[in-house]
Chains A and B, each alone.
Chain A
Amino acid sequence: MSSQGKSTRPPRQRALRVLGTSVTLLESLRRCAEADLGMAIEYQVLTGFDAQRQAVIEPGSFDVYDQWFHSIDYLWPTGALQAIDTDRIAHWNEINALPRSGRLAPGARYGRGCNPVTRLYVQADGTLGDTPSGRISMLPLTHNADSFAYLPAELSRLIGDVTESWAWLVSPRCEGRVALQADAAIGALDVALALQASGEMHFDDIGNLSIEEIDGMIELLIAKKKMGLFAGFWGDCAEAASLMARKRVAIQSNWSPAADDYVRVGLDCRIASPAEGYRAWYGGQGISSRLQGPMLDAAYRYLNWWLSGRAGAVMARQGFYIANPERSRAYLGEAEWDYWYGGQPAREDLPGTGGNILVRRGSVRDGGSYERRMSRVAVWNTVMDEHNYLVRKWTEFMRTD
């Protein structure tokens, strides 16, 4: 065949591959992004741990990585991501102070653990730190403050106290009624907060436990497990809801999207606003170190789309905040904005991400407004220095009968 017979059209660009979890990679969002950007997008939805592992082991298997800031501790040293040029992020200047400085407002509490600002900026020597620069590791996007979920009627009977406290999670009064998140990175932080609140342990830095602190905590937890405190452990939201509905669990670790599952199984469940503060997390998107040329441009377009408002509104309907909230306000009803960000009682029934009614009229979000909740972060989800040791010991605790 002669060359004249060939098409002169440029080859069709392949789909942008986004690796992440079900927390943010929603099919409805993918379709929206494809329509808005006019390009094909593929979502690879894995569990948090599997997504981290794939990104580290196969850095060529994705274009955009969508996960929590603390997982940058795995990805940055292995060279899986490239620095993001903030000049190419159209709304970079709209991103609020929380990820830029570690505090939403000057008087807010500076959360321990993986405060996103500590992993945000690329420093001169290639490491990450909080000194501002024009290059960042991940684009800060979704975030939230988590605590624990409980059945108010049950806890009122078991505890009696009205002040919500992490200490409830390890109270002997809740024997056989407690469940924890199975993942050491989150479950261990929840119980560390609980043991500190109950006065049974004190940690020098709850976001970075020492070997002795881990040993002491696991020893205490094993003793509590043998005494029958824990009814189970869960890996995802459906399991969490099932434990409450079927296994008499009255109080447990929580993920915000589980609210939908609790409603679905008919539970009257409340999310606590603990006196000691929240365990928070920050999510973002990074770009594969292998990406260049037109696909790199496509990745930047996708990142910019996430800050353009529509994605932030979808995230809000499952309880998550976005780094530049005002942009998403235009895509939310006034009642939605006032409930999710303003902390005001819902003036009407409000939908979740799937269109179903998630929030009943009159409901109030735990902890109040965005500013109030995100100013009370006790600790950010993190990968501690002794993470490897913690995971092994946590496994020992989980295996103990």
Chain B
Amino acid sequence: MNITAIFLRLAEGMSRSVLIFALTLALSLPLGLFVSFGRMSKWAPFACLGEAKSAVLRKIAGFKPISFIVKVYISIMRGTPLMLQIMVVYFGPWYIFGIKISNAYQFSAVIIAFAINYAAYFAEIYRGGIEAMPKGQYEAAEVLGYRKGQAFIKIILPQVVKHILPAVTNEVITLVKDTSLAFVIAYAEMFTVAKQIAAKESSVMPFVGAAVFYYVFNLIVAVAMEKAENRLAYYQ
């Protein structure tokens, strides 16, 4: 196998890695926002028990089910390896529910696992940004008559985005490298392909190619994110 042939096969893997990357971001960035809303939910269905004498009842009064469920979800997503989560999403339907899985499900499983994992991380970043917003911004919008949703989209979110961009960049860069984890269910992304060729050809060249690919990919990500930060640097 000559260098060109190796490169062509690697390129095929690259396009799959890029696809995982792009789809994961497209799904997890908005999903994370909804997860963060759930995490910040103040809905307490038993709040009427707040005046109760018993300490146990008062504890129940403060119970926020949505926030609690989302907290558990985030805790699992952050507390277990993504590699394991990909396996659970892929093999779970068969082992747990006896549903026969097709080959076509392989790619979907990768995307689902990545999206729900990254949404958990993004959610906590969003929450940090949203909770750090001065209360006065909400109040100024409220007094001016903005609807809640309008105020969030026009006033709060643009400022939050500016503040969380560096933290998001961190996650996005990690995601580029994490795409290699799709190998665990034999999805032929970049690194899987590189390993296959390396074993067959007894050469380290494919790994060198892989290293260059990840580095250049992340360089592009870092430059793009810096551009975005600069575009938002027009105010303080």
Q: Do A and B come from one complex?
A: no
